[in-house]
Amino acid sequence: MYAEVRLDDADASGFRLHPALLDAAMHAGLIGAGERDDLAVELPFTWNGVALHGGGARAARVHLRRRTPASFAATLTDLDGRPLGSVESLVLRPLGHRQLLAGGSQTGRLYRIEPVPVEAGPEPSWAALDGWDLAALRAAGDPPDFVVLPAAGTVAAGARGRIHGAVGLIQQWLADGAFDRSRLVFAVDANDVDDAGLRGLVRSAQTENPDRLVLVDTDGTEDSRRALPRALASGEPQLVLRGGEILAPRLAAVPPRDGEEAEAVPFDPDGTVLITGGTGTLGRILARHLVERYGARQLLLLSRTGADTADTRALAEELAGRGAAVATATCDVADREALAAVLARVPAERPLTAVFHAAGTVDDAPVTSLTAEQVDTVLRSKVDGTRNLHELTSGLAAFVLFSGLAGVLGTAGQGNYAAASTFLDAFAAYRRAQGLPAISLDWGLWAQTSGLTARLSEGDLNRLARIGVLPLPSGEALSLLDDALARPDAALVPVRLDTATPRAAADIPAVLRGLVRATAPAAQSAPAPGTGRDCWTWSAPRSPRCSGTPATGGWRRGRRSRSWASTRSPVSSSATG
């Protein structure tokens, strides 16, 4: 094949061979390449034997020779026949339409947490903590590398009690200089929904205080208990243990559904659809969508602060013109008696068929100053409200929980909201295990300002953008909702992530490693003590390893540099309300 390529207005000076000229020449080689029937395209993958012979040309003639079905050679000359360059072999790689759809882009899409194997290290020194009190550990002497809280359920009842206890323990740990060189490990029981809130809380605390905490999600098997010490030496801030296998959580794109249209949610459109937080900005958007997309004919919108507003009346009039009736009620879903009274008024001829729990509130603070009142304020609507909706409803075809990306990323300053979010993820899985419908959606930032995001500053948005989180337009968000509702997952993450632009490695949360590209090799957490890879110095032999009792002995650590712990201002990334 022969081709002639030219530059338009580009300045060729300073280039021996202008990149645009070379690119155009190679594109000629892709014409007719790989006639495939699977909608794949062939893209340049490997270059071999590239040489430059001239320079400064604004036009070139190209001779392309197919070497194999997946490669070709190229010779470039100027218009007078003088050599410009040559390529011995350019190997092509097919890229299918699914990969194109799933590739790094700035459009919203669905993600899920998928653990990946990680390399373990030699067993470090560690101790098991008995309860929430650090006094016994402090009295035992210099602490070991890791201090493990093995099971929060043994020291506190219920999700709220465990979150409160964990907040207090983290505050003690960070305030006590005796533990500055150790890490506190929270072992979360994967089989206990009341433990789930600790995932989000600890992730946020990790963001605020790097290298001080470790989160371990374990199945509690004997193999996993034996693997724990070696897992801690991996250097990963978050770990998953399943049957002794050592994994780390990573966010991964959900494959497209082969172009299929999302199936309608199997709820009776003539039944009643309940939306909590229904009179807020996102609640109204959702209500309109359920009528337009799924033909919902009876909506019940709940609001804690007041349901009779001008916006709600306007929405009711609009939807009435489309054949839908809108009822409203002022009700705090965390108030079981009030919620039961509202549900009792649902007409028997239009029984409740679907629940969309979008109510929520934020009360942000770093974990070091987070109060019990702030924790309770956020947990009321998400944790208590979800339990009430679960216990007071039956026969549903859809049970949709609006959660937040804060629980996945561990947003700084939102430990309480992150805890509530990961509780919802686990609760959806709990319902699924009982054969009941449920899905939790960990929404990223919506472009449409809502009650939870109205106070985000430009600096807050910039901090989210630094890790690739971009505002999600409402149209894209609703399309992702439709896609998610047609899938069997218990939890999905609808978010607009820029995965194509490289980011500073230090800005990339561990869960995004492998998804968001780093400008340098992805930064690991500070090397795990005792792995031989850290920069700490020792003035005496290590204390013997321990397994369940605090380590003691006459050893001490040298100093280690720390930089920005707890100095980043809180960012609210929640999107619901």
572 belongs to a structural domain: no
- Asked whether 383 and 422 are in contact (CB, 8 A), the reply is no
DSSP line for 455-486: T--HHHHHHHHHTTEE-B-HHHHHHHHHHHHT
Strand 298-303, strand 272-276: pairing: parallel
Q: Which of 468, 494, 520 is a domain's end point? A: 494
- Do 215 and 313 lie in one domain? The reply is no
10 Å CB burial of residue 473 (0-12, 13-18, 19+) is middle
104 belongs to a structural domain: no
- pTM as predicted: 0.73
- Cβ neighbours of residue 271 under 8 Å, at least 6 residues apart? 298, 350, 351, 352, 353, 354
10 Å CB burial of residue 534 (0-12, 13-18, 19+) is middle
Residue type present at position 442: D
From 39-48, 54-63, 106-115, 201-210, the region with the lowest mean pLDDT: 39-48
Instruction: Write down the pLDDT at residue 443.
Output: 96
| Span 159-215, pLDDT tens digits | 999 999 999 999 999 999 999 999 999 999 999 999 999 999 999 999 999 999 999
| Span 433-456, pLDDT tens digits | 999 999 999 999 998 876 666 566
> What's 91's domain CATH number?
3.10.129.120
Q: Where are the alpha helices (DSSP H) in 176-212?
A: 197-208
Q: Which of 95, 118, 149 is a domain's end point? A: 95
- Asked whether 111 and 254 are in contact (CB, 8 A), the reply is yes
> What's 469's domain CATH number?
3.40.50.720
- Do 126 and 89 lie in one domain? The reply is no
Nearest to 570 by CA among 374, 429, 391: 374
- Do 271 and 311 lie in one domain? The reply is yes
Mean pLDDT of 115-130: 92
- Do 120 and 72 lie in one domain? The reply is no
- Do 204 and 309 lie in one domain? The reply is no
* Residue 197, phi then psi, degrees to nearest 5: -60, -25
Count of domains forming the chain: 3
- Asked whether 200 and 419 are in contact (CB, 8 A), the reply is yes
- Asked whether 483 and 110 are in contact (CB, 8 A), the reply is yes
553 belongs to a structural domain: no
Q: Which of 460, 494, 528 is a domain's end point? A: 494
Instruction: Write down the pLDDT at residue 130.
Output: 84
| Span 132-145, pLDDT tens digits | 889 888 888 889 99
DSSP line for 241-296: EETTEEEE--EEEPPP-TTPPPPPPSS-TTSEEEEETTTSHHHHHHHHHHHHHH--
| Span 276-294, pLDDT tens digits | 999 988 999 999 999 999 9
Give kind and range of the element (H or E) at residue 398.
strand 398-404
| Span 397-437, pLDDT tens digits | 999 999 999 999 999 999 999 999 999 999 999 999 999 99
546 belongs to a structural domain: no
User: At 183, is the secondary structure helix, strand, or coil?
Assistant: strand
Distances from the Cα of 35 to the Cα of 99, 103, 206, angstroms: 18, 22, 50
- Do 150 and 35 lie in one domain? The reply is no
Nearest to 426 by CA among 381, 467, 386, 380: 386
Nearest to 203 by CA among 220, 191, 193, 188: 188
- Do 73 and 49 lie in one domain? The reply is yes
- Do 67 and 127 lie in one domain? The reply is no
361 belongs to a structural domain: yes
- Do 406 and 476 lie in one domain? The reply is yes
549 belongs to a structural domain: no
Confidence of residue 574 (pLDDT cuts 50, 70, 90): very low
Q: Which domain holds residue 80?
A: 2-95
10 Å CB burial of residue 323 (0-12, 13-18, 19+) is exposed
Q: Distance between CA atoms of 372 and 314, rounded to whole angstroms?
A: 39
Structure tokens at 488: 């069997």
568 belongs to a structural domain: no
- Do 13 and 61 lie in one domain? The reply is yes
| Span 290-341, pLDDT tens digits | 999 999 999 999 998 876 788 888 999 999 999 999 999 999 999 999 999 9
Instruction: Write down the pLDDT at residue 93.
Output: 64
Q: Distance between CA atoms of 373 and 360, rounded to whole angstroms?
A: 15
> What's 176's domain CATH number?
3.40.50.11460
Instruction: Write down the pLDDT at residue 191.
Output: 94
259 belongs to a structural domain: no
- Do 329 and 223 lie in one domain? The reply is no
- Do 291 and 245 lie in one domain? The reply is no
